[in-house]
Amino acid sequence: MPIEVDNYYVKQLLGLGDFRVQSYEAVEKWFAIIFLAYTYLQWRLNHASPEERFQVVADIIRHHRQHHACQVLEAACVMARQDEDLTQVMRRFVSRGLSPPP
């Protein structure tokens, strides 16, 4: 059922289920952010072009993540071509406090 998939994405992947042990004000703000994100996803679902073929909110999230991954990869490739220093590219796009591979 599509609503169950949507609920899973809202709770697990958008983070609505992650507000435990927070103050009321923090939960209220967190809910507002998640509600805004979910509203945007529903808007995208209802205003998608016919060739996008989105059926559920999960499709929008997957599409957005894939688009973002392509943008990151493209930016890394451009940086690698410009600088010709893969160590810098690895530091910027891969490592989070870890040393780059040799």
Q: Which amino acid is at 11?
A: K
* pTM exceeding 0.85: no
Helices 24-46 and 57-83 sit at what angle, rounded to 10 degrees? Answer: 90
Helices (runs of H) and strands (runs of E) counted in the chain:
4, 0
Domain ranges of the chain: 2-93
User: How far is Cα 22 from Cα 97, in angstroms, rounded to an integer?
Assistant: 28
User: How far is Cα 51 from Cα 36, in angstroms, rounded to an integer?
Assistant: 25
Give per-residue pLDDT as tens, 55-81. 888 888 889 989 999 999 999 999 889
User: How far is Cα 93 from Cα 100, in angstroms, rounded to an integer?
Assistant: 10
For 89, other C-beta atoms within 10 Å of its C-beta total: 20
Give per-residue pLDDT as tens, 33-46. 888 988 998 899 99
